[in-house]
Amino acid sequence: MTATDQIRAELLRAARSLGAPEGTDPVIERPRDTAHGDWATNLPMVLARPLGKKPREIADLLR
């Protein structure tokens, strides 16, 4: 299992704990600018509409 696969599995586990629908498929990538961290994901944006919350609120819950 690659690092990306492990991160995806943990993100999906956390997303399901928040009530994410089946089929949630976040993008996981390395940011171009390393000042933005080692990994980036769009999961809060993906979950915003289905969960009826702002992406920032979801990001805070995923921390």
Q: Residue 20: what pLDDT?
A: 96
DSSP calls for 14-54: HHHHTTPPTT----EE--SSGGG-S-EE-HHHHHHHHHTS-
Q: Report pLDDT for 40.
A: 95
Whether the per-residue pLDDT at 1 is higher than 90: the answer is no
Q: For the whole model, what pTM was predicted?
A: 0.86
Q: At what angle do helices 43-51 and 3-17 cross, to 10 degrees?
A: 20
- For 8-54, write each residue's pLDDT tens digit: 999 999 999 999 999 999 999 999 999 999 999 999 999 999 999 99
The Cα–Cα gap between 43 and 16 comes to: 12
